[in-house]
Chains A and B, each alone.
Chain A
């Protein structure tokens, strides 16, 4: 019984952290059709911003929940303003540009910050479940993921800005004709996606550490998850993250970790074979 509960919590945590890793990419891909290959590095910058701010004596929660998203949001603003905007939605050009940006950010972190930045220990204590113990921080990660997703849905569904974003996404010409400033909308969407990546990077930093190359461990899974989600990025990514996070962690529980990694990839392949345009290509089309 204890064991089942612990396994359940770990599965939940795996799903939540995968969703958290993907959410920023999902916003940018879903709204702008831009695949941001520097996504992993946005997470990395978020992690560094948090660790450096906390190391400088700032309150831990301010550093994590305010500074990291703000820094990466600002980075996103610059990237959109000076790179993405000039590529005018050319998906092939953005692949090369964001890949270049990814290398550049890794190189910058390696040159400026080096390899000996002290990290932050996971806060909170632990909770005992029979003979098992689980860090309370696990619950915090799950909570942040759920809250972020719920807030995003609510914002898109009910706020005026959300309505504009959805409109501009579905039909940019029509939205522009109706007087919406689509250029500003695209810019603010990119900033929002970046800020969410920064938040994710900071929240996961105590559990994953920070290094210039840490982005590489995130970007592949995030890319596969978001695309498998399909055109309706937010719903699709949430579902795909749940499915993939569950599969890989369950396989890791039943067998060895390499089976978990391979299982995730196989499920992604089978899923796309059955639903060639992602989860939301066929179902949930009316979703967000």
Chain B
């Protein structure tokens, strides 16, 4: 049945597809936008709050009269923590729902599943999670932070307080592996040393061997890049061995799924973290924003940190770009975003870096203390890492790749 004719027709149908992205909204007709989050399955702990933050942004836009006189109509899909659904739903959003933008995704694998699809089908994609960095694609914008910045700041803070001999515990995962490379580089830069480095498959939850190795090495500080529910077992075992009183602990991932309210304070007190947002931030924007969030969703949502909050920024930034462009048409919106557009938000001002399509943002050093994060320090307008200027979408707009940083 695969005759030449049907094949060519198929190919024509496929090449006709991009045209759908060119549709622009007429006033009063709602603007369709797409969202894919993990609202069930193992990643639900992340997805629920991501969607709450995204919906807050969308509702706020609609309550303020919508965009260009039209309401936003969000097509929401639950990817159930399964990659195949990201694939199905990304195609559906681009081909059937013909949305102006797609936002969402959590894991790097989910992003790398939908990013090529949306690139091919000319549908703008905004990804709002901290990730290992390196994506360089004109059709793609990232509001999340990459580990290069975070580990630099953390190790500097550790050197100021405790010392420069660091022991690294990381998920045996791309994010963990690349973070570990950054940590080695940052430690070197500070004249310090990585005295131990261990990687854990995502479902390992026995850390006895690791803890006794750390006790033998006696590092100045332990830095962890754990991912997922199994690794959470570490904190209880660490505290049970009394180590939380002996060796300081830092993390670039702790807090993303409300660990701070789920784990007893005597277990997690003192863990030092870094991120763009914590509920305890006392800036004026957050003073209004957080009560608004709680008014809509109640208080039974856990604790917000920078992973879910980026979804609010993602949608708000996109809306700002649409207002500036005067249309939801993809090319015009990309150009508007590339003017270095910025918005204020609960974690401070965030703006787009036109070169990498990543963001400048305020970053905060914080410490877990009695079910809350206590802010220790603020770093203003931290720039996204772009080692050796690998990515330059202004000079080379046709780039469509994911660089592995040459660290």
Interface residue ranges, A against B (CB under 8 Å): 3, 6-7, 10, 13-14, 17, 107, 110, 114-122, 124-126, 131-135, 137-138, 206-209, 211-214, 216-217, 248-249, 252-253, 256-258, 260-261
Q: Is the CB of A261 within 8 A of B212?
A: no
Partner-A contacts on B (CB < 8 A): 40-42, 44-45, 48, 172, 198-201, 203-206, 208-210, 212, 215-216, 218, 229-230, 232-233, 235-237, 239-243, 246, 257-258, 261-264, 266-267, 300-303
- In order of increasing CB-CB distance, the 3 nearest A-B pairs are A135-B240, A126-B242, A116-B302
B40 touches A110 (CB 8 A): yes
Once the chains bind, are B262 and A121 in contact (CB under 8 Å)? Answer: no
Q: Which of A7, A125, A134, A207 contacts B233 (CB 8 A)?
A: A207
- Chain B residue at smallest Cβ distance from A254: B209
Q: How far is the CB of B81 from chain A (nearest CB, A)?
A: 9
- Partner of B267 from the list A121, A216, A258 (CB cut-off 8 Å) is A121
A50 vs chain B, min Cβ distance (A): 13
In the complex, what distance in Å separates the CA atom of A110 from the CA atom of B267?
24
Determine if B237 and A116 form an interchain contact, defined as CB atoms under 8 angstroms apart.
no
What is the chain B residue whose CB lies nearest that of A134? B241
Q: How far is the CB of A81 from chain B (nearest CB, A)?
A: 29
**In the complex, A269→B48 CA distance in Å?**
40
Q: Give chain A residues whose Cβ lies under 8 Å from the Cβ of B240.
A: 122, 124, 126, 135, 137-138, 206-207
Chain B residues, Cβ within 8 Å of A120: 264
A124 to B266, CA, bound (A): 12
Residues in B whose Cβ lies below 8 Å from that of A13? 208
11 further contact pairs, Cβ within 8 A, besides A13-B208, A135-B241: A110-B40, A116-B261, A124-B240, A126-B240, A131-B218, A133-B215, A206-B236, A217-B230, A252-B209, A257-B172, A257-B204
Q: Which of A3, A119, A138, A217 contacts B262 (CB 8 A)?
A: A119
The answer on a CB contact under 8 Å between A3 and B216 is yes
Closest to A7 in B: B212
Chain A positions within 8 Å of B236 at CB level: 119, 121-122, 206-209
Contact of B44 among A110, A253, A256, A261 (CB under 8 A): A110
A258 to B301, CA, bound (A): 34
- Residue in B209, B266, B303 whose Cβ sees the most chain A Cβ within 10 Å: B209
Task: Identify the closest chain B residue to A107 (Cβ).
Answer: B40
Complex Cα gap A59–B384 (Å): 50
A115-B45, A116-B258, A252-B209 known; A135 vs B303 contact (CB < 8 Å): no
